[in-house]
Amino acid sequence: MSDAPKYKKFDFGTVYDEGGRVTSAPPPRPKKYFTPEEVEQIRQQAYTQGELSALAASQALQAEAVQALADAAGQGLETLHSVLAQHKEECVELALVCAHKIASHALDLFPDAAIKAALAALGDEVSGSPRLIVSAQSPDAALQKAVREAAALTGFTGAIQFRDQPHAAKGAFEIQWPDGRAAYDPSKVYEALRSALKEVLLAEAYHKQKAMGQPLAKGA
């Protein structure tokens, strides 16, 4: 009889202390039936959750669409800025070519205009000098006469010496006096102007890229 199996008293999972108080109990079993009011409440909760889920999905799709539009607009603006920059550069280059041709034609019509203007601007510098040395490409009689007349208008009464510079550019000249010199070269003026305008375009492109937060091009 001592070997008979001992059975534990079935207590439904509830634990009591010595005083009969419940210390632990099994979790409540799920309800197998609901009242009509509870069914309606569950239906409303499910409907609300469905609406919120659909609204969240719709807002996510709207956000993606807005981001796609923003990306497309950014790419379009970047392309537009690139086209405008190229157009400006081409316009500047065309303007420089036109200006160079006009200046060249003006030198053909008025070959002594530049040197006369230079002497007028240097009036205070050369008026008291004892001599001037004027260097130019093939300084003919017409140019020499124009230089003497322009120098006389400044009050210059000294001697003027002319020197031929066969390798000088068309319209270029150099004026020397004991205290200084002045030179003019149309080709160098053209290159200096071209370089200055190019730097202006590069600076404009740099500031636009910086304002838009785009990576700066190398050398910009």
How many C-beta atoms lie closer than 10 Å to residue 106's C-beta? Answer: 14
H-helix or E-strand spanning residue 190: helix 186-212
For 147, the domain range is 110-188
Long-range CB contacts (within 8 A, 24+) of 21-29: none
Same domain membership, residue 133 and residue 102: no
Give me 145's structure tokens. 């006469």
pLDDT tens readout for residues 73-107: 777 777 777 777 787 888 888 888 888 788 788 88
What pLDDT does residue 220 have?
44
Query: Does residue 60 lie in a domain region?
Result: yes
Same domain membership, residue 134 and residue 83: no
Same domain membership, residue 100 and residue 161: no
Contact yes or no for 132/175 (Cβ under 8 A)? yes
Same domain membership, residue 76 and residue 48: yes
pLDDT tens readout for residues 5-36: 555 555 555 666 666 666 666 666 666 666 77
Query: Does residue 209 lie in a domain region?
Result: no
pLDDT tens readout for residues 177-186: 998 999 999 8
Helix/strand/coil for 83? helix
Say yes or no to pLDDT of 40 above 50.
Answer: yes
Query: Does residue 118 lie in a domain region?
Result: yes
Query: Does residue 76 lie in a domain region?
Result: yes
What pLDDT does residue 49 have?
76
Same domain membership, residue 147 and residue 103: no
pTM of the full structure = 0.51
Same domain membership, residue 76 and residue 40: yes
Contact yes or no for 174/182 (Cβ under 8 A)? yes
Say yes or no to pLDDT of 3 above 70.
Answer: no
Same domain membership, residue 141 and residue 175: yes
Average pLDDT, the chain: 79
Q: Which of 109, 124, 159 is the last residue of a domain?
A: 109
**Which residues lie closer than 8 Å to 32 by C-beta, 6 or more apart?**
none
Query: Does residue 55 lie in a domain region?
Result: yes
Query: Does residue 2 lie in a domain region?
Result: no
The CATH number of residue 163's host domain is 3.30.360
Say yes or no to pLDDT of 71 above 90.
Answer: no
Q: What's the average model confidence in pLDDT over 42-58?
A: 75
Let me know how long the chain is: 220
Query: What's the number of domains the chain is made of?
Result: 2
pLDDT tens readout for residues 134-179: 999 989 999 999 999 999 999 999 999 999 999 888 889 999 999 8
Query: Does residue 81 lie in a domain region?
Result: yes
The winner for highest mean pLDDT among 67-81, 110-124, 183-197 is: 110-124
Same domain membership, residue 39 and residue 82: yes
Say yes or no to pLDDT of 187 above 80.
Answer: yes
Same domain membership, residue 118 and residue 66: no
Q: Which of 23-32, 47-56, 65-74 is least confident?
A: 23-32
Phi-psi label, residue 13: left if phi above 0, alpha if psi -120 to 50, beta otherwise: left
Query: Does residue 52 lie in a domain region?
Result: yes
